[in-house]
Amino acid sequence: MSDLYDPQSIEARWQQYWRDEGTYEVDNDDPRPPFYVLSMYPYPSGPAHMGHVRNYTMGDLLVRYRTMRGDGVLSPIGFDSFGLPAENAAIQTGTHPRINTDANIEALSASLRRIGAVYDWRRMVSSHDPGYIRWTQWIFLRFYEAGLVYRGEAPVNWCPGCQTVLANEQVLPDGTCERSGDLVDRRNMEQWFYRITTYAQELLDDLDDLDWPEKVKIMQRHWIGRSEGAEFGLPIADADGMARTDVEPLGVYTTRPDTGFGMTFAVLSPEHPRVDELTTDDRRGVVEAFRSSVAGRSEIDRLSTGGSLDKRGVATGARVVNPFTGEAIPLFLADYVLMTYGTGAIMAVPGQDQRDWDFALAHGCDIVRTVQPPPDFDGEAYVGEGPAINSAFLDGLGVADAKAAAIAWLEAEGLGRGTVKYRLRDWLLSRQRYWGCPIPVVYCDDCGEQPVPLDDLPVDLPNDVEFMPTGRSPLMTHEGFLNTTCPNCGGGARRETDTMDTFVDSSWYFLRFADPWSDGAPFTAGAADRWLPVDQYIGGVEHAILHLMYARFFTKALADLGVAPPGLREPFRRLFTQGMIRLGGTKMSKSKGNLVAPEEILDRQGADALRLAHLQVKPPQEDVDWEDFGIDGCAKFLARVWRLAVPGGPLTADARTGVSTDADEVIDRETHRLVARITDEYDRWSYNTAVAGFMEFTNTLYRWVQADDGPHGPTLDSAVDTLLMVMAPAAPHLCAELWERRRGGHVHTVAWPVADPDKLVDDTVTMIVQVNGRVRDRIEVPVDIDAATAEAAALASVRVQGFLAGDPPRKVIVRTPGLVNLVV
């Protein structure tokens, strides 16, 4: 063994040790208090990139720290191994996705080990394991049985590049696919959905109690988009403008029922089922032309076009009756009214809605204000608070009161009712691709749609497939897969060829980790009860909506079905979102080709230096530029610790005399302060300052070691040992190696040190003396100094007297023992 710091040799050795010894394996009957640390399920794209390193370094630090604190820490790992990249690669190279995926999992696993991240590898799962597929399908079928899955025709987002449909969440604001970047178009297709909207209210309410970044909670609230309003009918008007009683009224939804008296027209979505019925013959041609011009456009395109409103809507020729005023008002179609929100029809109130205002001007409709704007208001539509006007029985009421009164009136008249709507829509889970979890349903000519019996799971993917350059799923033409028997009648049937969105796989993996050996259920409720919810979940903010919302839905649904413990309402108690790594000002990503490979750094400076650099460079939750990383500085620091701590080294304590000096007391206090400080910083994710703490303490030790009147050997030894303990979660290899050489045994299994509170305060402190808030002197005083003595000491200062100019201070503020402020 060399006495020089040689990360390569020690890191490989300890990585092997942790694996061989099973140091971080934890059983479900472990007597220690359970603590579940989880980093987000990675997609295995090959060796780890810097983003992985950052994520898994944070997680690993916590795993090791909590273990030293005495917890039985569950630290599992698995791989989100289904998905398009592997299938696209298969299309290009002809290699089956399973082969690439397995190789990538191996590569990523090796990377994680190389950065020193430790897991209970016995619990590893991958989405494409038949044993995992089985339970993903089992959950689907249980949801199916419970009515949480349905198949329905719906306008969907079709990505021509991916040859599949996408969930709304997977379409970017500019209307392109988040994966391929292709422009998504809109078509009607028969698809599978998870009924996530059943849980909309609970998903919203339960956010309040989660210890998550406020930013993520706000994003989720917005995505769920609860709104309160009223739904009511607009009677269809006859030629005289009178309400017809022989035709169903047109249902509209509004959040502003208080402005009903200002409704001067109404607007229908172009795909509304009643367009044909209501359009008058003279308008039919124009309406049809408008409808077909809108038909091909994606929802996002329709909602984000800024074009002038006269082109974006047409009159139907029909009129409806405003039930508030009894007047007949025109009915239009407009592209921005969507069939998928509310009732697909709106009442338009130009006085209180700018878009309606603009539309009214473009189409010659009346404008009536029903909320009194303030005197200085010079805008057009007024959306603020104010008393109702021109509104009969609502006049004078504020917005909230007027809303309530309007709803009460609608209900009393039998016209409508108060309602709550959500922006959240059901989760479209089917994908027309091969490399995903097959949807376990068959279609029988006689019995129709039939779920696959639970005992027949898993429905696995056939391996003998050919990938077409078109991207069309090979399942659609694979006779062996397609042909099956009906579980109901035993006759011939065809399998569903759609597979599941990969977000399904990541919606329950954290539960499987609790008991991956379970063979009678996806996990045992007891194990889930023990470990869940995850005490600390760690990942990227890019999953703020999709993954986290879906996982929350699954957890709630599984609990309600009795699969998960009934009290388990949320999967992740605490969430930490770490920042991303940029290079040259842009996000590092494979597609941008600006990746910095961790391997070179691991080869040269080692895993501990890379980990430390990630921790030190910035607060963990912030984005960071790769240019700002100080790997060399961290490597240099680690070598400094090595020289200080390695037995027989140039600076180690055994070279010193055994004579105790005053320095012993000082260094002992410093050591206790270090423990208190690092413990606090670890607890609040202040890893960058923790690294500063290691460095400061090391600098202090260096000065003492080289001082003539420094501490004696045992005191210094104890200080160095403590440094190794508190650094062990951050730089595990170096600390394990030095600890073993100095003390024997394993630093990661010793108890976390505890600071003696008495040693955290000195007998004296430096008291600041200010004159008019400016620091003028510093005086060393006893910690228990009283106010009068402190004031006297401040006034006695010669430096201070120079600023008082002989006059007594007008006012004296004393904050013992730290500060005296003299005001003149």
Partner RNA sequence: GCGGACGUGGCGGAACUGGCAGACGCACCGGCUUUAGGAGCCGGCGCCGAAAGGCGUGGGGGUUCGAAUCCCCCCGUCCGCACCA
Range 345-384, binding RNA (CB under 7 A): 346-347, 353, 355
Task: Compare residues 251 and 565 and give the one whose CB is closer to RNA.
Answer: 251
Among 480, 773, 806, 808, binds RNA (CB under 7 A): 773
Task: Compare residues 461 and 544 and give the one whose CB is closer to RNA.
Answer: 544
Q: Which two tokens stand for residue 664?
A: 């012993």
Among 182, 202, 680, 740, binds RNA (CB under 7 A): 680
Query: Which of 151-159, 320-328, 689-697, 738-746 is the region at the interface with RNA (rule: CB under 7 A)?
Result: 689-697
CA distance 59 to 61: 5
CB burial of residue 62 (10 Å; 0-12, 13-18, 19+)? buried
802 near RNA, judged by CB under 7 A: yes
Binding to RNA (CB under 7 A): which residues in 533-572?
541, 544-545
Task: Compare residues 140 and 687 and give the one whose CB is closer to RNA.
Answer: 687
Q: Which two tokens stand for residue 780?
A: 């060393």
Residue 555 · residue 229 · CB < 8 Å = no
Helix 713-727 crosses helix 687-706 at what angle (to 10 degrees)? 160
Residue 497 · residue 436 · CB < 8 Å = no
304 near RNA, judged by CB under 7 A: yes
Binding to RNA (CB under 7 A): which residues in 417-436?
421, 423
603 near RNA, judged by CB under 7 A: no
Peptide bond into 458 cis (omega under 30): yes
Fill in the amino acid letter for 391.
S
686 near RNA, judged by CB under 7 A: yes
Task: Compare residues 122 and 778 and give the one whose CB is closer to RNA.
Answer: 778
Which positions ≥6 away from 343 have C-beta within 8 Å?
231, 251, 252, 253
Query: Which of 13-21, 181-189, 446-454, 634-642 is the region at the interface with RNA (rule: CB under 7 A)?
Result: 634-642
CA distance 682 to 684: 5
778 near RNA, judged by CB under 7 A: yes
* Helix (H/G/I), strand (E/B), else coil: 444: strand
Query: Which of 32-40, 304-312, 395-403, 732-740 is the region at the interface with RNA (rule: CB under 7 A)?
Result: 304-312
Element (H, E) at 356: helix 354-363
468 near RNA, judged by CB under 7 A: no
Binding to RNA (CB under 7 A): which residues in 142-181?
173
Query: Which of 77-85, 443-451, 687-695, 756-764 is the region at the interface with RNA (rule: CB under 7 A)?
Result: 687-695
Binding to RNA (CB under 7 A): which residues in 706-725?
706
For the bound state, the minimum distance from the C-beta of residue 719 to RNA, rounded and expressed in Å, comes to: 15
251 near RNA, judged by CB under 7 A: no
Cα dihedral 807, 811, 814, 818 sign? negative
Site string for RNA, 724-763 (x = CB under 7 A): ----------------------------------------
For the bound state, the minimum distance from the C-beta of residue 303 to RNA, rounded and expressed in Å, comes to: 2
For the bound state, the minimum distance from the C-beta of residue 683 to RNA, rounded and expressed in Å, comes to: 10
Cα dihedral 164, 168, 169, 173 sign? positive
For the bound state, the minimum distance from the C-beta of residue 34 to RNA, rounded and expressed in Å, comes to: 27
For residue 372, how many other CB atoms are within 10 A of its CB?
16
Among 39, 126, 164, 254, binds RNA (CB under 7 A): 254
In 84-214 the beta strands, taken as DSSP E runs, fall at: 125-126, 149-159, 164-166, 185-194
Among 555, 577, 616, 715, binds RNA (CB under 7 A): 616
Backbone φ and ψ of 417, nearest 5°: -155, 160
Task: Compare residues 347 and 461 and give the one whose CB is closer to RNA.
Answer: 347
689 near RNA, judged by CB under 7 A: yes
Query: Which of 33-41, 137-145, 387-395, 768-776 is the region at the interface with RNA (rule: CB under 7 A)?
Result: 768-776
For the bound state, the minimum distance from the C-beta of residue 456 to RNA, rounded and expressed in Å, comes to: 39
* Helix (H/G/I), strand (E/B), else coil: 50: helix
* 6, 7, 12, 18: CA torsion to nearest 10: 120
Among 299, 501, 515, 721, binds RNA (CB under 7 A): 299
637 near RNA, judged by CB under 7 A: yes
For the bound state, the minimum distance from the C-beta of residue 135 to RNA, rounded and expressed in Å, comes to: 30
Which positions ≥6 away from 553 have C-beta within 8 Å?
194, 196, 199, 203, 427, 507
CA 368 to centroid of chain Cα atoms: 45
CA distance 749 to 26: 13
Among 12, 303, 361, 795, binds RNA (CB under 7 A): 303
CA distance 762 to 780: 11
Binding to RNA (CB under 7 A): which residues in 85-144?
none
Among 236, 371, 624, 734, binds RNA (CB under 7 A): 624
Query: Which of 74-82, 117-125, 221-229, 445-453 is the region at the interface with RNA (rule: CB under 7 A)?
Result: 221-229
Residue 645 · residue 738 · CB < 8 Å = yes
CA distance 540 to 479: 41
Task: Compare residues 180 and 689 and give the one whose CB is closer to RNA.
Answer: 689
795 near RNA, judged by CB under 7 A: no
Among 14, 119, 193, 341, binds RNA (CB under 7 A): 341
* Helix (H/G/I), strand (E/B), else coil: 811: strand
Task: Compare residues 497 and 797 and give the one whose CB is closer to RNA.
Answer: 797
Binding to RNA (CB under 7 A): which residues in 639-668?
639-640, 643
Site string for RNA, 17-46 (x = CB under 7 A): ------------------------------
227 near RNA, judged by CB under 7 A: yes
Task: Compare residues 714 and 818 and give the one whose CB is closer to RNA.
Answer: 818
Binding to RNA (CB under 7 A): which residues in 265-284?
269
Query: Which of 64-72, 94-102, 366-374, 814-822 is the region at the interface with RNA (rule: CB under 7 A)?
Result: 814-822
Backbone φ and ψ of 562, nearest 5°: 80, 10
CA distance 407 to 413: 10
Helix 546-560 crosses helix 130-145 at what angle (to 10 degrees)? 70
Fill in the amino acid letter for 216.
V
Across 23-54, b (16+ Cβ under 10 Å) vs e yields bbbbeeeeeeebbbbbbbbbbbbebbbbbbbb
Query: Which of 36-44, 249-257, 448-456, 789-797 is the region at the interface with RNA (rule: CB under 7 A)?
Result: 249-257
- In this structure, what DSSP letter does residue 171 have? B
CA distance 363 to 345: 18
CA 161 to centroid of chain Cα atoms: 27
For the bound state, the minimum distance from the C-beta of residue 332 to RNA, rounded and expressed in Å, comes to: 12
Among 289, 476, 775, 788, binds RNA (CB under 7 A): 775
Task: Compare residues 99 and 338 and give the one whose CB is closer to RNA.
Answer: 338
Length of the chain: 824
